[in-house]
Amino acid sequence: MEYTNLLMNYEKMYDLDAEHITKGYYREPWDSKVGQRQLNPAYAAVKLREFLTEAKLNLDRRKRDGKQELPFVSGMYPEYYLNNFHF
C-alpha cells in the first residue's frame, strides 16, 4: 500500500512537471534528450555499480561506528557531523 501511494505521487509529480515544461514555466532538463549518456544502459550500469559499492562502504562505516575514524574532534560541530556516514 505504501509503495502504491509513492508511485502514484511520483506519477502526479512527473505529469505536473511535464505540464509546466509544456507551458514554458521552466525548461526541459538538459539530460532528458535522446543521446545523453544518462540514457545509455552501459553508463547506467556503471553508475549503479559505483552507487552500490559506495553504499556498502557507507554501511560498513556505520556498523563499525565510523566516527572513531575522524582525525580530530573540535567540539564545534553537532553530533551528526561527527559521523563519516550519512543517511
Asked whether 78 and 69 are in contact (CB, 8 A), the reply is no
The widest CA-to-CA distance across the chain, in whole angstroms, is 52
Higher pLDDT, 83 or 86: 83
Model pTM score: 0.47
The pLDDT of residue 71:
66
| N-to-C CA span, the chain | 24
Q: Over range 65-78, report the average pLDDT.
A: 69
Cell of 19: 505540464
Q: What is d(CA 36, CA 39) in angstroms, rounded to the nearest whole number? A: 6
**Do residue 10 and residue 24 come from a single domain?**
yes
**Residues 3 and 19 grouped into a single domain:** yes
Q: What would the pLDDT profile of 16-66 be if each residue is shown by its tens digit?
A: 999 999 999 999 988 878 888 888 899 999 999 999 998 888 787 777 766
Residue 31: its pLDDT value, please? 80
Q: Do residues 7 and 42 both lie within one domain?
A: no
* Residues 65 and 85 occupy one common structural domain: yes
pLDDT higher at 87 or 65? 65
